[in-house]
Structure 1
Amino acid sequence: MAAKTIQPVSLAQETRATLPTPEAAFHLNRAQQTLRLWSMRGDGPIRPLRVAGRLAWPVADLKRVLGVAQ
């Protein structure tokens, strides 16, 4: 099975409240595993929500960390 290609929109235009790990990692220019480690250790700049066992990264926090106007 081929890997999914991510086609994220700019954070300034994002309408969802949270993003899945692959899209959040893309915007932060970090590996997905880095975000998973932040979640596990609780030491990253953003804390994810857990929805049905999956990580959901708040768009407002991503914008804050990256300095994107809300």
Structure 2
Amino acid sequence: MANSTVKQFPTLETVTSPAVETNQAAHYLNRKPQTLRVWACRENGPIRPIRINGRLAWRVTDIKSLVMGVA
């Protein structure tokens, strides 16, 4: 059996931080991280990131709204 390094994320309901990094947001949205980076670059995705010290962060409230289907 191959040794995999799959990162486990907490459930979205238990996240208490205001924003998460791209890989974690992609997990919750069932998208590849690169898709979210394209959304950020083209500014045409269903949600937009914030930038913290030059890095992308995704608001948990935006992710929850998108997952729940709230416009």
Instruction: Give the TM interval when normalised to the shorter protein.
Output: 0.7 to 0.9
Unaligned residue ranges in structure 1 (runs of 5+) = none
Aligned ranges 1:1-70 → 2 under 5 Å:
5-67=6-68
Unaligned residue ranges in structure 2 (runs of 5+) = none
- Deviation sequence 1:4-46 (CA, Å, 0-9, x none): 6422111111101000000000111111110000000011011
Considering only aligned residues, what root-mean-square deviation do their CA atoms show, in Å? Answer: 1.7
Structure 1's consecutive aligned runs of 4 or more residues displaced over 4 angstroms after TM superposition are none
> Contact 1:6–1:23 at 8 Å: present in 2 too?
no
Higher relative contact order (CA 8 A, sep 6+): 1
Q: In the alignment, residue 53 of structure 1 is paired with which amino acid?
A: G
Identity across the alignment (%): 44
Higher Rg of the two aligned structures = 2
Q: How many residues align?
A: 66
TM-score, normalised via structure 2 length: 0.85
Tell me, in whole angstroms, the C-alpha distance in 2 between the residues paired with 1:58 and 1:5. Answer: 23
Q: In the alignment, residue 65 of structure 1 is paired with which amino acid?
A: L
